[in-house]
Structure 1
Amino acid sequence: MNGAGTPTRWFARPRKVPDPALRLVCFPHVGAGGAAFNEWTELLPAGVELCAVRFPGRENRLHEPLLDDPGQAVDAVLTALLPLLDRPFVLLGHCSGSVLAYECARRLQLSGGPAPALVVVSSAEGPSVRDIPDPLHLLPRDELLARVADYGGTARQVLADPDLMAMFERVLRADYRVVERLRYSPGPALTAPLTVIGGRQDRFVSEQALRAWAGETTAAFSLHMLDAPHYLLRHAGAAVAALLQDLLHAGVRR
């Protein structure tokens, strides 16, 4: 499976599990690829396979055209995702990736597709309070790059290299166009459980904005606050592993 629309192209799978009991499908933040979640690989319970979304224009898809239309982006990732949903799965998004993870969960529910055992979002305000008065994809170059650097999670070698930054800017603008222009599918709240992870030192998303996710599910809701900043992937691995272990103990079923 090596075509542009197949799971091999669309998902980084750093530790393939022959017969996984559970798949963790991760949506990275703007500008990032599947490698953003590599540090979690050794923390996850046995039997869990990590599948991190990898959009065109980065990593091994560097020479593929960027996607900047929200409808096309969600359609493409869902098409690639469906073959992986033959067993229990969790959808997880970090920061702007939460927008896409949540929309994919909504689309699957509306279409009668497979339901996630759990949806996890982090460092993102709930849809009911989400507001984008000044879209980042329209900012001047220096202001855009300064904002992204302030969020954290961007490698220093990228920030210090003008050529890498020029390429990075194109990816950022395309990714921000997707998440800032995306309109969630209408319909009832999710029937899947929803967990939110936030950082107590997050200067961009308040605990109140995180709690606004509670209205997006009719199932169980939980909020986990970590001693972490906005970019909390390095801090969240153990918490995510514990959530997955709980699912396995509860007996998630195919």
Structure 2
Amino acid sequence: MPHDDPHADFGRAQDFGAKLRMSARLVGVVLLQDMRTRYGGRNHFGYLFGIALPVLHMSVITGFYYLRTLIAPVGESAALFAATGIAPYLLCLYPARQMCGAIAENRQLLSIPMLQPLHLMISRAILELLSAIAALLVFLCFLQSLEKDIWPNDPVEAAKAIGAAIFMGVGLGFFNLVMSAILGRFYQMAFTFLVIGLYLSAGVYFPIWSMPEDVREYAVYNPILQLVEWLRSAYYTSYEVETINPRWSSASRRRL
């Protein structure tokens, strides 16, 4: 019975490692070039604009809700209640939307023989992931300057909810990129209307239990609502989380 040559296996492993290191370097180069192309300038300070935009978006919406509703439906802070609703939505929306142009905005790089479309997609996903995390940290620092305490009662569940929002945004971004290449602007317009519908039914500014029962039965299928409810369950110990899929988090399993 023939035996595998260990030297051949070692050679194949070395070749695979070399290809993996080359792909990592290509993704890094494309990532830096993507930052310069999208935000302009020869340095990386323009990248701060990409972080400031979602932070400003979250801050404006949270501030508007705080001025309009001084008494929070849950908890003591109206600003924190709004923030726990808008943060998962934007952390999911921005990566999903920005990844659509990963190939179209860097098509000239594909003239380099070693570069493949997958390198452009991975580099944009990493860039949006870093942007989302940085924007969230800046926004939390902004809230900390306004609120006495923004630390969740269950930090682990809060981290899971935020991670799920970013993961969903990146995954949806890959899907949008492929569909945009197939259907073009028609799909982008349809996705925009879909996002508006998801936003309006996600319970960003009000608890899910305040919805009519008939509406709530369909709203629970909204993934953004699931993320919002998940994050709020980590902040408010008395928050009702029956709408969360019990397979998602240990906090929901304890309450269901």
TM range (shorter): under 0.3
Q: Higher strand share goes to which structure?
A: 1
TM-score, length-scaled by structure 2? 0.24
